[in-house]
Structure 1
Amino acid sequence: MSQFLQYTLQGLAAGGFYALAALGLAVIFGVLGVVNFSHGACYMLGAMASALLLKNLDLGFWPALVVVPLLMFVVGVLIERLFVQWLLRLDPLYNFLLTFGLTLFTVDLMKRLYGVSSQPYEVPAGLRGRVSLGSVDLSGYQLFAAGFSLLVCAVVWLVLTKTRVGMIVRASTEDAERSRALGINVARWVTPVFGFGIALAGLSGVLAAPYRAINADMGSNFVIILFAIVVIGGLGSILGAVVAGFLVGLVEAYGQGYYGQISQVLIFVLMALVVLVRPSGLFGREESA
């Protein structure tokens, strides 16, 4: 039982990274209809920026939680304004290819600038200890990451459900054409929504920095898992992305604990089962199938 609880908490901590990043991916897909393959690269940039800010400017983890998402928001705005907007009226495959190309460019640029070795990043001083909950022993940082991720997801959810801006974004996510018919200027929200999605990817990268190896390739497998999460939760579903993110984190943790090398396979087994039973995903609309 103690092992099960430990794996559960570890899964929630890992699921927090997935939920934050998948939330941004789901919003971008819902509003723009863009399959953003560069999301993993933006996650990597968030972690890399944290390491570089600490190394060059002595800017620690806590300021990075604020500074890096703001920087990544600007990056997202630039990507949308310079590249994505020109392809929105074309087949979605064009933007997929564009973001795939941006991923290759970004990863190779980071390798050329900083090599393939991992960048060092220490756990913040106040979170280096271990926390014992009965027979369960976890690092303080794992508990913080799980709690902080839940808090951010809750805040984003409140903003999206309790404010006028959130209402507009949700309406655009669920049905952009009908929103336009009701007088909502969906195009006005395209750029900030894209930037917001990229900022969430950057924030998940900051959270991952003390926890995972920081290198140019860290987003490669991450983005594949993100797409599995979005499919499980339902394409464009905000709630589905969060729930599926934590669910996949749990499946991965249980797989690593009980089944060793096939933990990653279990994620895609789960995705296949969900698609077979409900093609639109757990929270997706049938029209999205």
Structure 2
Amino acid sequence: MQHIFNGLVSGSFLAMLALGLAVIFGMLGVVNFAHGAFYMLGAFGAYLLLTEWGVNYWVALAAVPVALGLFGALVERVLIRRLSALDPLYNFLLTFGLALLLQDLVRREYGVQSQPYTSPLTATVDFGLFTYPAYQVMVLGISLVVCLAVWLVLSKTRLGVIVRAATERPELTRALGIDVGRYVAPMFGFGVALAGFAGVLAAPMRAVNPLMGGDLIITVFAVVVIGGLGSIFGSVTAGFAIGLITALANLYVPTLSQTIVFILMAAVLLWRPAGLFGREEAFT
């Protein structure tokens, strides 16, 4: 049971990061390799607010994602949009370079040594068979609420209808008189804000260092491929599932715990190239 909870908590970070990637790819068709760097900036933002200005965790949890969302919208306006008419590979290379730049800027200022961040909750929750840290339980609950809220907004609201229409049929959406361009920067910023939100949640649990995003982003890309590129439901489901499978593999087959996600990705690509919940027509 403890390993199951560990897997679900780890999967919550994968799900939120994969959700942000899916939103960005679905709206812009951009594979955002800088997503891990934005996750790292979220954790460092919370750390700097606490150490430099004494801002507590709960304020940082609200402020840092908003700041990163605005920064992400600016990145889309200034950089991503200029290459939108070119091959998607150019934006992939751009975001890859941006990730390296952000990592090196933070590493130059703070080095590679991990920075501590005290957990805002030190209590434990008694589940009968075992006890579990209250903070990890809170992280799992918050991630479920966030993922459900994003899904509801995109599936049940007028904004969600416009975003999904612009994602699947941008030219037809424009023909109906909707300015698709006005939604692109906010949605890119929203995806970046999700990465920053996950970073703030991770700060008390994981080592805050410049490389924390780079170590995770490859796994997140595998999760998105398994769930289906651009699929909100698929990304979230695959995130939690991969976290759970990895935790159980670490218990029963430790030698495969670090590679099982890539084995699953290869199997899914061979069996269903669009991913478990992706649209096959996008790949024909």
TM-score relative to the length of structure 2: 0.96
- Tell me, in whole angstroms, the C-alpha distance in 1 between the residues paired with 2:114 and 2:171: 45
Work out the CA distance in 1 between the residues paired with 2:278 and 2:169.
Answer: 12
Are the counterparts in 2 of residues 231 and 271 from structure 1 also a CA contact under 8 Å? yes
Alignment of 1:43-82 (within 5 A): 43-82=39-78
> For the residues of structure 2 that align with 1:21 and 1:249, how far apart are their CA atoms?
13
Matched, 1:85 2:81: yes
- 1:135 partnered with 2:107: no
Are positions 1:225 and 2:233 aligned together? no
Find the residue that maps to 1:255 and give its secondary structure: helix
Which of 225, 239, 243 in structure 1 is aligned with 2:237? Answer: 243
RMSD: 1.3
Cα distance change on mapping 1:103 and 1:130 into 2, 3 Å: same
Amino acid aligned to 1:272: A
How is 1:189-204 mapped onto 2 (pairs within 5 angstroms)? 189-204=183-198
Deviations 1:181-220 (A, max 9, x none): 4433221111000000000000000111011000000011
Write the distance in 2 (CA, Å) between the matches of 1:52 and 1:230: 30
The reply to whether residue 121 of structure 1 matches residue 129 of structure 2 is: no
Task: Name 1:267's counterpart in structure 2.
Answer: 261
The CA deviation at 1:255 is 2.0
Residue identity opposite 1:238 in structure 2 = I
SS at 2:164 equivalent:
helix
1:230 deviates by 0.8
Distance 2:276 2:171 in 1: 23
Partner AA of 1:202 in structure 2: G
| 2:33 corresponding residue in structure 1 | 37
Give, as a single letter, the amino acid of the residue that structure 1 aligns with 2:32: N
What CA distance in whole angstroms lies between the structure 1 residues aligned with 2:259 and 2:85? 36
The CA distance in 2 between the partners of 1:252 and 1:47, in whole Å, is: 23
1:29 and 1:216 map into 2 onto residues whose CA distance is 25
Compute the displacement of 1:261 (Å). Answer: 4.2
The residue matched to 2:257 in structure 1 has which SS? helix
Q: Which amino acid aligns with 1:15?
A: G
> Alignment partner of 2:177: what SS?
coil
- Tell me how far apart the structure 1 counterparts of residues 153 and 200 of structure 2 sit (CA, whole Å): 22
Provide structure 1 residue ranges, at least 5 long, that are not aligned to the other structure: none
Q: Deviations over 1:84-116 (max 9, x none)?
A: 110000000100110011011111100111111
Report the Cα offset of residue 128 of structure 1.
Answer: 1.2
2:99: which partner in 1? 103
Cα deviation for residue 175 of structure 1 reads 3.4
Distance, in Å, in 2 between the alignment partners of 1:14 and 1:146 is 9
How far is the alpha carbon of 1:226 from its aligned partner? 1.1
d(CA) in 2 for partners of 1:204, 1:190: 22
Q: 1:177 to 1:257 in 2, by over 3 A?
A: farther
Distance 1:33 1:149 in 2: 25
Task: For 1:182 and 1:262, locate their aligned partners in 2 and report how far apart those are by CA, in whole Å.
Answer: 51
- For structure 2, the residue ranges without an aligned partner over 5 or more in a row are none
Match of 2:252 among 246, 254, 258: 258
Distance 2:172 2:269 in 1: 27
Residue matched to 2:108:
112
Partner amino acid, structure 2, of 1:57: W
Q: CA deviation at 1:283?
A: 0.9
Q: Distance in 1 between matches of 2:255 and 2:213?
A: 20
Of residues 136, 161, 180, the one that matches 1:186 is 180
Equivalent position amino acid for 1:260 in 2: P
Show the 5 A alignment for 1:126-165: 127-165=121-159
**C-alpha displacement of 1:56:** 0.8
CA-CA distance at 1:178 after TM superposition:
3.7
